[in-house]
Structure 1
Amino acid sequence: MGSLGEVIKKMAVGANDANAPTSVLFGTVTSVNPLEITVEQKLKLTKEFLVLTKNVKDYTVDVSMDWETGSKSLNANHSHTLNGDISVSSSAEVNPNPDNIAVNIKNEVSNNIGIETKNINLTHSHSITGRKTMTIYNGLKLNDNVILIQQQGGNNFVVLDKF
């Protein structure tokens, strides 16, 4: 920002143009922080002289939503198979045996194991409802071209939009 004297000079010059019509100007953002817009490569406007519209600044807005995301599916169908025979056999002799007769005990167990395919449904969607706050990122960036309207009197410039 210029000195207080420079600001007063600009205001005085603007007062002389109080009856002048509003004019439309085109400028380029030459600095973001601090904000500065150059018009016709000679007039440098600082934030003190700029009025920003929502079209050229970040802002938040509340919106109401009632929608559902698309369905997503994950194929998780799978199977496990285990094949095999289990067999157990045993024998035993009983001693003393008064008749000396061998006694054999034999056990046999067999089994075949199998597991079938399982279908698993993992389809889902999400419901989004209610009032939400969203941020709109319209802030000015370096080298953005803008349309300005010079307010009647010439002191302030409304930064209308980007182009």
Structure 2
Amino acid sequence: MRDMNDIINIIKKIAINAVNAQKLSTVVYGTVISANPLKVQIDQKLILDSNFLKLTNAVKDHEVEMTINGSRQSCTIHNGLKKNDKVTMIRVHGGQQYIIIDKE
């Protein structure tokens, strides 16, 4: 019975090490080099286009509804990315998608 417990513990350690080695997500930083079409440069060699980028409301123009003086109104928030904006991104597991979460 002790041998079986040892084997189970070894398998657990192997599984935990495999998950930890995958780097499920990573924070990366980039610079917008073009707003339309959207392109973000991460380093000298890697430039991402809109096919690889997902935007949060923190970095795009969007509409919100709000109540002002008891009246419900629609308002546009102008947060769109511009050339030379510095952005913070999360690289999604596998590195095929990047979520732009904020800008400086």
Short-chain TM bin: 0.7 to 0.9
> RMSD across aligned C-alpha pairs, in angstroms?
0.9
Instruction: Specify the alignment match of 1:132 in structure 2.
Output: 73
Number of residue pairs matched? Answer: 83
Matched with 2:64 is 61
Structure 2 counterparts to residues 1-163 of structure 1, below 5 A: 19-66=22-69, 129-163=70-104
Alpha-carbon distance in structure 2 between the residues aligned to 1:41 and 1:134: 38
Which consecutive unaligned segments of at least 5 residues does structure 2 have?
1-21
Structure 1 residues not aligned, in runs of 5+ = 1-18, 67-128
Q: TM-score, normalised by structure 2?
A: 0.76
Q: Which runs of 4+ in 1 moved over 2 A?
A: none
Partner of 2:18: none
Q: Deviations over 1:77-119 (max 9, x none)?
A: xxxxxxxxxxxxxxxxxxxxxxxxxxxxxxxxxxxxxxxxxxx
Tell which structure's C-alpha radius of gyration is larger: 1
Compare the two structures and name the one with the higher helix fraction: 2
Give percent identity, aligned residues only: 42
SS at 2:27's partner residue? strand
User: When you count strand as a share of all residues, which structure comes out higher?
Assistant: 2
